[in-house]
């Protein structure tokens, strides 16, 4: 089978990063590598687990407040989703946008073709909507959106699902600043963030009794075995979720159950593990509503509204770009949703 130059490059990056990150102390792997075709399906399954409330809480907040969100944006508005997933959340906004007649275009930015295809399918029923998919990184997708935007259109960027939580500070603030830099006055950013909640709830969300999250975590080893010829014995690594209260993050690890050596020829390395040594595969930061507002302000946004589901402990925050330069603009009212379940 022939490999395209772009795919070749991606494989080289994967190999380089695997070699580099497994040489760190503690050993690490980047969570972006979870999302091959199988990993994306496992993540969709996680979103449906009763113990993982992020997706449901966000969908409920979106359904309840879609109209207030879109009321901020004139016609025509282009909605840009970073990390589009299944497209279900976008469909909620598209429905409200269709009723208002304001949303004319949707741009999907994701490195996963599976996600772009699923979102495109979910939006097919909105015939007035032009849907454009960019299979690329967030940074280059944002550049494309900025280059091709219509002069008369407003832009609403969606960064949902608490994807921001997978960025370690200061990358979270830098990323929001990079979004801010591509926007113009009266554009907006809708940010979904999971909130700090009791530790047992957090651990159940990241170590579910069905083992779906464990499979999602171990799948990164399956990917290394398949794409880089790695020799990981899946049975010799246990999934572990830890709440690090000081850093306000859930960490996922793969813990070696014995002393072992693993060859990864495609990454030109052999990695030694001691029993109980872990590979840190993901951080998922949790927030408090005021910290989300402060983060957005530091990135140059103005708070337009914030909705909190007090039961599921999830927040949707609508940030705007003010004509005078966001960070100094006066704050506006904060709206809280009543308990939803």
For ligand AVI, the binding residues (CB under 6 A) are 46, 54, 161-163, 165-166, 206, 213, 282, 284
Q: Taking Cα atoms as reference points, which of 294, 282, 249 lies closest to residue 43?
A: 282
Distance between CA 53 and CA 208 in Å, rounded?
12
Burial 56-94 (b: 16+ CB within 10 A, else e): bbbbbbbebbbeebbebbeeebbbbbbbbbbbbbbbbbb
Distance between CA 84 and CA 44 in Å, rounded?
12
In whole angstroms, the minimum distance from the beta carbon of 326 to ligand AVI comes to: 25
**Nearest residue (CB) to ligand AVI, 16 versus 201:** 201
In whole angstroms, the minimum distance from the beta carbon of 194 to ligand AVI comes to: 7
Q: Residue holding tokens 């593990």?
A: 273
Residue 230: exposed, middle, or buried by beta-carbon count in 10 A (0-12, 13-18, 19+)?
A: buried
**Nearest residue (CB) to ligand AVI, 15 versus 202:** 202
Residue nearest to ligand AVI (CB): 284
**Pair of tokens at residue 111:** 């490195």
**Nearest residue (CB) to ligand AVI, 81 versus 282:** 282
**Nearest residue (CB) to ligand AVI, 119 versus 213:** 213
**Nearest residue (CB) to ligand AVI, 54 versus 90:** 54
DSSP at 174:
H
In whole angstroms, the minimum distance from the beta carbon of 214 to ligand AVI comes to: 10
In whole angstroms, the minimum distance from the beta carbon of 213 to ligand AVI comes to: 5
**Nearest residue (CB) to ligand AVI, 96 versus 179:** 179
Q: Taking Cα atoms as reference points, which of 11, 91, 10 lies closest to residue 266?
A: 11
In whole angstroms, the minimum distance from the beta carbon of 161 to ligand AVI comes to: 5
In whole angstroms, the minimum distance from the beta carbon of 54 to ligand AVI comes to: 6
In whole angstroms, the minimum distance from the beta carbon of 42 to ligand AVI comes to: 9
DSSP H helices in the chain: 5-22, 37-47, 54-70, 88-100, 113-123, 138-148, 171-182, 199-206, 212-228, 289-298
Distance between CA 108 and CA 88 in Å, rounded?
13
Distance between CA 305 and CA 333 in Å, rounded?
6
**Nearest residue (CB) to ligand AVI, 44 versus 277:** 44
**Nearest residue (CB) to ligand AVI, 166 versus 306:** 166
Residue 107: exposed, middle, or buried by beta-carbon count in 10 A (0-12, 13-18, 19+)?
A: buried
């Amino acid at each position: 089978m022939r490999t395209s130059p772009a795919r070749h490059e991606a494989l080289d990056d994967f190999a380089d990063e695997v070699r580099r990150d497994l040489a760190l102390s503690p050993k690490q792997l980047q969570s972006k590598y979870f999302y091959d075709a199988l990993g994306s399906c496992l993540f969709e399954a996680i979103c449906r687990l009763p113990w993982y409330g992020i997706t449901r809480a966000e969908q409920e907040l979106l359904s309840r407040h879609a109209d207030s969100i879109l009321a901020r944006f004139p016609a025509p508005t282009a909605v840009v989703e970073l990390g589009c997933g299944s497209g279900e959340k976008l469909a909620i906004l598209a429905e409200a946008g269709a009723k208002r007649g304001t949303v004319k275009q949707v741009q999907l930015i994701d490195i996963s073709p599976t996600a772009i295809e699923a979102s495109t399918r979910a939006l097919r029923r909105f015939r007035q909507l032009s849907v454009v998919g960019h299979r690329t990184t967030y940074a280059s997708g944002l550049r494309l959106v900025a280059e091709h935007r219509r002069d008369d259109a407003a832009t609403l960027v969606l960064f949902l699902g608490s994807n921001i939580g997978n960025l370690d500070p200061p990358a979270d603030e830098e990323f929001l600043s990079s979004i801010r830099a591509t926007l113009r006055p009266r554009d907006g950013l809708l940010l979904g963030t999971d909130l700090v909640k009791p530790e047992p709830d957090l651990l159940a969300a990241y170590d579910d009794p069905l083992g779906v999250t464990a499979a999602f975590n171990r799948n990164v080893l399956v990917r290394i075995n398949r794409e880089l010829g790695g020799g990981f014995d899946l049975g010799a690594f246990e999934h572990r979720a830890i709440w690090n209260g000081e850093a306000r993050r859930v960490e996922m690890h793969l813990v070696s159950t014995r002393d072992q050596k693993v060859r990864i020829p495609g990454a030109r390395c052999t990695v030694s593990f001691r029993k109980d040594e872990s590979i840190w595969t993901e951080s998922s930061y949790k927030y408090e509503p005021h910290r989300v507002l402060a983060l957005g302000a530091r990135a140059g946004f103005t708070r337009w509204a914030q909705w909190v589901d007090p039961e599921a402990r999830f927040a949707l925050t609508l940030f705007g770009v003010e004509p005078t330069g966001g960070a100094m603009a006066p704050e506006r009212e904060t709206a809280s949703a009543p308990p939803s379940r």
